[in-house]
Amino acid sequence: MRNCTRFFIFASLFLAFTLSSCHKFEGNQTVPAYLRIDTMEVICDYYTYGANTHNFTDAWVYIDDDVLGCFELPATFPVLAEGKHKVSVLPGIKVNGISQTRSQYPFMAAAEYLDFELVRDSIRTLVPRFTYYPNGDNLHVRWMEDFDGGAVSLQPTSSSDTTISRVSGPLAWHDPEGIYSTYSGRVVLTADSMNFCVASGEFDDLPTKGSACMLEMDYKCSDTCLVGLYYLKNSTVVQYPILRLRPTGESGVEPQRWNKIYVNIGPYCVENEGADYFKVYLSSWNDRNPGEQYFYFDNLKLIFRDR
């Protein structure tokens, strides 16, 4: 996994130096052009790829197919080039929500600007728009759950005290355009329902040869939530926790702030090659009795790309 730290340090120091030098270099050094990226957009068909929600935090930038760097957004950074060049941008994420595991998002093509004019001593702003690789070609959206259909594919396990229900209204997730999403999934833990565990159906075709494979979702919660996999191997069902989601709100209070997470499940599929199936699960327990705890989920997506 590539880390962006050295790029951040280089860009910050370089930019600070150039801005403090009256925007000019002495002698034969070159005056840079500047690029600025504040936001990114996803263009996709809702029924094929789900909602266009994303949490892209970084821009991986290439000039004429040579890497310039990885920059945390919003960012203004120098380019030691002028005139017309090819500028390519790939979106970056925090894998498992961890700043130290930044990586390119592997399921979208680069946003490319051919014959892009770089002007010395001038800032040009880009708003990269990304599209997915073709579904069914080398990309596979294996499962989606947005709670807008009639049935919910996440079902309580035998150990769960409660279930997940569909809710609408102001507490549900809504896409920025207000077109598609109406419902979200909601779990409430009380003194009478001390724990929950909901799981997807069985997947027997997840990649086990090292292909990129991720679980994505939007969530908000007032208490810790576990994300993990069930798998059946050698006639034994194993429950494997992968990631602990931190609360996005206060304990016992309906959370307001949504977050998006990218959970890398690829290594666990490789580690358990030969498993008969995998199942995604979400779980938590109420150890803060008598306060109620709230968990909301939306736009779950299991996606992988062939090598």
R_g (Cα) of the chain, nearest Å: 22
- Distance CA(235)–CA(251), nearest Å, equals 39
The CATH number linked to 185 is 2.60.120.200
| 73, 102, 130 - which closes a domain | 130
* Tens digit of each residue's pLDDT (9 = 90 or more) over 55-89: 999 999 999 999 999 999 999 999 999 999 999 99
**Are 106 and 208 part of one and the same domain?**
no
Which has the minimum average pLDDT: 23-32, 226-235, 252-261? 23-32
- Distance CA(145)–CA(183), nearest Å, equals 11
**Are 126 and 31 part of one and the same domain?**
yes
DSSP string, 50-108: --------EEEEEETTEEEEEEESSEEEEES--EEEEEEEEEEEEGGG-GGGEEE-TTB
Taken in order 59, 64, 68, 74, the sign of the CA dihedral is negative
- Distance CA(1)–CA(103), nearest Å, equals 6
**Are 181 and 295 part of one and the same domain?**
yes
| 86, 105, 130 - which closes a domain | 130
Provide the CA 11 distance to its chain's centre, in angstroms.
Answer: 24
Mean pLDDT over each residue of the chain, to the nearest integer: 89
DSSP conformation class of 179: S
Give the pLDDT confidence score for residue 13 in this predicted structure. 38
CA distances, 180 to each of 55, 164, 297 (Å):
19, 21, 16
**Are 26 and 98 part of one and the same domain?**
yes
> What is the mean predicted confidence (pLDDT) over 85-94?
98
pLDDT at 2 exceeding the cut of 80: no
> What is the mean predicted confidence (pLDDT) over 164-172?
94
The tally of domains found in the chain comes to 2
| 70, 96, 130 - which closes a domain | 130
| pTM score, whole prediction | 0.88
* Tens digit of each residue's pLDDT (9 = 90 or more) over 190-209: 888 889 999 999 999 999 98
**Are 82 and 184 part of one and the same domain?**
no
Residue range of the domain that includes 66: 5-130
**Are 105 and 28 part of one and the same domain?**
yes
Give the pLDDT confidence score for residue 37 in this predicted structure. 98
**Are 205 and 61 part of one and the same domain?**
no
**Are 209 and 144 part of one and the same domain?**
yes
**Are 65 and 197 part of one and the same domain?**
no
